[in-house]
Amino acid sequence: MAVLEVQNIEKNFGKTRVLRDISFELEQGQTLAIIGSSGSGKTTLLRCLNFLEEPDGGRIVVNGETLFDAADPATRREKEVRKKRLHFGMVFQAFNLFPQYTALKNVMLASELLAKELPNYKANKKEILANIEREAQALLEKMGLADRASHYPHQLSGGQQQRVAIARAMALKPDIMCFDEPTSALDPELTGEVLRVIRGLAEQKTTMIIVTHEMAFARDVADQVIFMDDGVIVEHGPARQVIEDPQEERTQRFLARSREGGGSPSPVRG
Amino acid sequence: MFWEVTLALLKGFGTAAELFGLTLVFALPLGLLIAFGSMSKWRPFRFLLNAKKKAEWKKRLAGFRPIKLIVDVIVWIIRGTPLMLQLMIIYFGPGLVWDNNIWGSSTGGRMTATVIAFVINYACYFSVIYRGGIEGVPQGQREAGEVLGMTRAQIFTKITFLQTVKRIVPPMSNEIITLVKDTSLARIIAVTELIKSSEPFMRINGLIWPLFYTGVFYLIFVGALTLLFNFIERKLSYFK
Ligand SMILES: Nc1ncnc2c1ncn2[C@@H]1O[C@H](COP(=O)(O)OP(=O)(O)O)[C@@H](O)[C@H]1O
Ligand SMILES: [Mg+2]
């Protein structure tokens, strides 16, 4: 069974139809890359999955549980949204780390707050918090940031900040990790270290959706690729096929343009 | 003579400090309330958007935010006119309009009128600072908290509050230092603050130095505040 089923998602901003009839499925441990030109609705789609936007139509099903159904008002209640969004982890283009906390605290904060809701929190407080810290340390280590745990975000490079942000999203052990152009805000020489970390996650069978402009990365790391244009899924297939042998004319044109532009499909470092 | 002047100025300083303190105590929270008002998104005619035919006037009315409009107009008036004028209107207004001087002729009544005028005026200035501080925190900070399953209260207390404070401190310290000097306006309705306390020595005794001495009081007060604000800014400088 698929971890994630997205069915007929619609989203309008006023008169602009930003997402139209978006449907796809994602299997456990698979990586889906979403490509498409700017303004095609990629960010909006990830924001819908994370309940930052409410779709106007469609269903979102995770592990067989309907998290959102536009036709069923009961699934749209504010109170439950908090719990539901924990199925997804989100990594933003702009990192959005909390500047007043160290890297470690950025990773631990949400876990600490959620732990307070545990019935046995008072009794085992020390143990629970020690556990959270240990896990956060381990995550930072995995991101290659063991020696940066006590640094504040402004003391870190963009690539390091984004890796902290990945650790922060992973800390809550979401079913599906979402990345919105995780390297777009980075200097070119820093994209490699972030892509390397994401590649590592893919190799460990983390279920992921990655919006990216790095075509070579999508081809090499993703299992499937979706090409979006103007709010619709134009093409959806195995990564290598969509990037190297696209069937749709619009996909072909987009890929040709991105090859001219960034000289992109070169092998990814790392 | 020196002690006589010192004693008079200390008394005037006490009045000025009282006005300063009371203004802060009431204007700081009131300003926050006004700030929330000016950010109010309440749109009572929003239902008009559900209509099939969306005429232009319906769209206009649907976007109408009455609380924001009222608050913005009040803030515009208060910030657009001199505090001295507001003070005079509040103190003399009731007597002139209703033939009823609600403030009485006592020192206490004059002080109350002054505090009210100052609180209204400064609350409006503070509201603009608060609003800038709150809106200056990037939306991405709130969203990052949301996707991590935090409640609105947690996002406020754990994420946005400190960032807002950090943004607010520099403009707030400017405004509060201005308030120290603005207390001198109270003399217009015969509140014996610092300058009014030193005036007799100039008029009657023909002395100039009490005026400079008065300046020293302001300088020490402002100097102490500056040290305090620098301390707070330094405390918050560990993050950007
Ligand atoms: N909050 C919003 N209000 C109005 N329009 C929006 C909003 N967010 C996105 N849009 C519009 O939706 C379209 C898709 O945006 P987006 O999802 O950011 O595309 P992408 O991430 O593929 O560049 C764009 O035309 C954009 O202008
Ligand atoms: Mg985008």
ipTM score of complex: 0.91
Answer yes or no: is pLDDT of A265 > 70: no
Q: Is B154 on the interface with A (CB under 8 A)?
A: yes
Neighbours of A203 (CB within 10 A): 10
Pairwise CA distance, residues A129 & A112, whole Å? 7
- Residue A266's pLDDT band (boundaries 50, 70, 90)? very low
- Cβ-based neighbours of B27, under 8 Å, separated by 6 or more: B118, B119, B121, B122, B123, B126
H-only helix segments in B39-82 = 56-62, 66-80
Q: What is the pLDDT of residues B178-219, one digit of tens each?
A: 999 999 999 988 888 899 999 999 899 888 999 999 999 999
Strand duo A208-211 + A176-180: pairing: parallel
> Nearest 5°: CA angle at B225, between B221 and B231?
150
Nearest to B238 among A83, A85, A152 (CB): A152
A178 lines ligand 1 (CB under 6 A): no
Contact between A94 and A155 under an 8 Å Cβ cutoff? The reply is: no
Please report which ligand is nearest the Cα atom of A180.
2
Low-confidence ranges of chain B (pLDDT < 70): none
**CB atoms A96 and B138 under 8 Å:** yes
Residues in chain A: 270
Q: Between A40 and B97, where is the model more confident?
A: A40
Distance (Å) from CA A27 to ligand 1 centroid: 27
Secondary structure (DSSP) of B91-125: HHHHHHHHS--TT-SSHHHHHHHHHHHHHHHHHHH
Please report which ligand is nearest the Cα atom of A45.
1
A40 lines ligand 1 (CB under 6 A): yes
Q: Is B237 on the interface with A (CB under 8 A)?
A: no
User: Which protein residue has the closest C-alpha to ligand 1 atom 24?
Assistant: A39
Q: pLDDT at position B136, please?
A: 94
Q: What is the pLDDT of residues B38-47, one digit of tens each?
A: 998 888 888 8
Half-sphere exposure of A41 (CA within 13 A, CB side): 26
3-class SS shares of chain A: helix, strand, coil, % to 5: 45, 25, 35
Distance (Å) from CA B147 to ligand 2 centroid: 17
Give the pair of three-digit tokens for residue A213: 């402009």
Residues of A in contact with B239 (CB under 8 A): 99-101, 152-154
Q: pLDDT at position B41, please?
A: 85
Nearest ligand 1 atom, CA A19? 14
Nearest to B147 among A90, A94, A101 (CB): A90
CATH of the domain at B139: 1.10.3720.10
**CB atoms B150 and A113 under 8 Å:** yes
3-state secondary structure of A80: helix
Q: pLDDT at position A262, please?
A: 56
Residue type (1 letter), B65: R
Sign, CA dihedral A92-A95-A101-A103, equals: positive
3-state secondary structure of A93: coil
User: Which protein residue has the closest C-alpha to ligand 1 atom 2?
Assistant: A13
Q: Identify any residues that bridge with A89 across adjacent strands, giving them in sequence order.
A: A177
Number of domains composing chain B = 1
**CB atoms A51 and B151 under 8 Å:** no
For the beta sheet containing A65-69, the strands, ordered from the edge strand earlier in sequence to the opposite edge, are A16-26, A4-13, A57-62, A65-69
Structural domain boundaries, residue B63: 2-239
**CB atoms B140 and A94 under 8 Å:** yes
Pairwise CA distance, residues A211 & A34, whole Å? 5
Residues of B in contact with A92 (CB under 8 A): 140, 143-144
DSSP letter (8 states) at residue B156 = I
Q: What is the pLDDT of residues A179-237, one digit of tens each?
A: 999 999 999 999 999 999 999 999 999 999 999 999 999 999 999 999 999 999 999 99
H-only helix segments in A40-187 = 42-49, 78-84, 103-115, 125-142, 158-170
Looking at chain A, which residue has its C-alpha nearest residue B158?
A109
Q: What is the pLDDT of residues A42-61, one digit of tens each?
A: 999 999 999 999 999 999 99
